[in-house]
Structure 1
Amino acid sequence: MWVAGVDGCRAGWIAVFMRADDPRTHRIVTAPTIAGIVDAPEGPAIVAVDMPIGLPDRTSGSGRPPEQLIRPLLGQRQSSVFAIPSRQAVEAGDYGEACTIAAATSDPPRKVSRQGFAIFPKIREIDALLRARPDLVPRIHEVHPELAFWSLNGCKALDRPKKVKGTPFEAGMALRRDLLMRSGLLPDELIHAPPPRGAARDDLLDALAGLTVALDLARGGGQPFPDPPGRDAHGLPVAIWTLRR
């Protein structure tokens, strides 16, 4: 069985494919679309992707239930969990329009962060794919790298950021690589591999974090927040998955 950990990147998407029964058999790729990942020759049975899946009609509090549940677990890293607004706001193509709609469909009214707005095209892409091809829904799971690293760190928040002012922070990157190595789930050469063209080192690191969750799911593990997952108006799951501990 093949599995994949996926993150967004400059080239579109970066994926790390791995045979769940043979960690030495793996491949790192980029693709312009998420469909190119799920339809790759490997045909991954489980895809763990760092991108929101399942959008609310309205939000109450600071984002969707999964975001509200995992944020307190991450300590100083909780700012990496963006508050995803309503479907109407995500579908807006203009930042000002997105903020207006988000405020009108949230309680208390909340606008959209610039960082959150930047990933809206990718959220729309994966949302459209899953609505058009519901057979993919059981294969594709939403993850968040910092929650995966929380699990790998004994369910404790990490004390070093991965980036500082948008630039990779080497001490934080090294901490996360060390957690991946200590997990024993991935071969060392994969953890230290260079990213392919069109992807950054932190993109690959996040895809590797997702891969650990995909492997755990393939082996009968996995823990969703919330448990059980919710569903949006289109039947898409609303949950962020991590390794079961």
Structure 2
Amino acid sequence: MQKLIGIDGCKFGWVAVSMKSDTADLFKSLADLINFYPENSMFMIDIPVGLANIDLKERNCETIARKILSKKRKPSLFSVPCRESVYASTYEEANQINKEIIKKGISKQSLGIVPKIREVDQLLQNNRSLVDKIKESHPEVAFHFLNSQQSMEYNKKTAEGQQERLKVLKSFSDRAEVIFNNSMSNFKRKHVSADDILDSICLAVTLEEMVNSGSSFEDGNLDSLGIPMKIHYFTK
């Protein structure tokens, strides 16, 4: 049976949600996560998929998404490092490479998820069949469209922001609150935060709505390795 899985990075590794389950699941590696689910499953992930490089210097999906979000939420979309810098051995080297290739330094926010960007990129390069199964999204963009094209008002780290996001998710599925509450009880905050859980539920809801409505997963620009670069979302 096909499962539709929302994925976010977390301190433990990765948090995954199926709206058919009662709780999220945690995994140390993305490969372990993918292998846990049936072969015909689809995944929506909050990590850049497809990277700029010396031959293709821009991921324009972030540029498009920034125009969509409100001023408060725009900072959640940061510049994604190019592939060459993702594989650099030190921050200094990565920062220099990024400046040379795409004319931008690497922010602290970007630096923090470079290992996960690299993990996704390596998995897709080594398992080309996964390219059609793993779709990129961004929770703030996804929430914007789930919320009738209104960006979230409050920061996701605050209690107000978490309740705001949970309310949106509950409007699509009562199971969202069950999954959130069970996950908060089942896992320690040092392993996964409340906003990580909400983001993974958001992507699971988005993926389920897209599949159930017959939405197109037509991909945007391809990177130099033929990996799509597109931030997916569901529109009512």
TM over 0.5, shorter chain = yes
- Bigger shift: residues 196-205 or 2-11: 196-205
* CA distance 1:100–1:92, shift in 2 (3 Å): same
State whether structure 2 residue 124 is matched by structure 1 residue 123: no
Higher strand share: 1
Report matched runs for 1:93-132 at 5 Å. Answer: 93-106=89-102, 109-132=103-126
State whether structure 2 residue 204 is matched by structure 1 residue 211: yes
3-state secondary structure, aligned to 1:183: coil
Q: Which runs of 5+ in 2 are unaligned?
A: none
* CA distance 1:65–1:233, shift in 2 (3 Å): same
* Aligned Cα root-mean-square deviation (Å): 1.9
Cα deviation code 1:115-154 (max 9, x no counterpart)? 1011011111111111111111111001100011001110
Look up the match of 1:71. Answer: 66
- Give the superposition deviation at 1:223: 6.2
Higher helix share: 2
Cα deviation code 1:50-91 (max 9, x no counterpart)? 00000111476xx62110000121111010111012111111
- Give the superposition deviation at 1:26: 4.5
* CA distance 1:40–1:228, shift in 2 (3 Å): closer
Look up the match of 2:47. Answer: 51
2:84/2:97 contact within 8 Å kept: yes
* CA distance 1:64–1:230, shift in 2 (3 Å): same
2:17/2:24 contact within 8 Å kept: yes
Look up the match of 1:232. Answer: 223
1:223/1:243 contact within 8 Å kept: no
Look up the match of 1:161. Answer: 155
Look up the match of 2:17. Answer: 16
For residues 15 and 149 of structure 2, the distance between their equivalents in structure 1, rounded to whole angstroms, comes to 26
For residues 73 and 174 of structure 1, the distance between their equivalents in structure 2, rounded to whole angstroms, comes to 22
For residues 122 and 62 of structure 2, the distance between their equivalents in structure 1, rounded to whole angstroms, comes to 21
State whether structure 2 residue 7 is matched by structure 1 residue 6: yes
Q: Which runs of 5+ in 1 are unaligned?
A: 163-167
3-state secondary structure, aligned to 2:89: coil
Q: What is the identity percentage for the equivalent residue pairs of Structure 1 and Structure 2?
A: 28
Look up the match of 2:86. Answer: 90
Task: Name the TM-score, length of structure 2 as normaliser.
Answer: 0.89
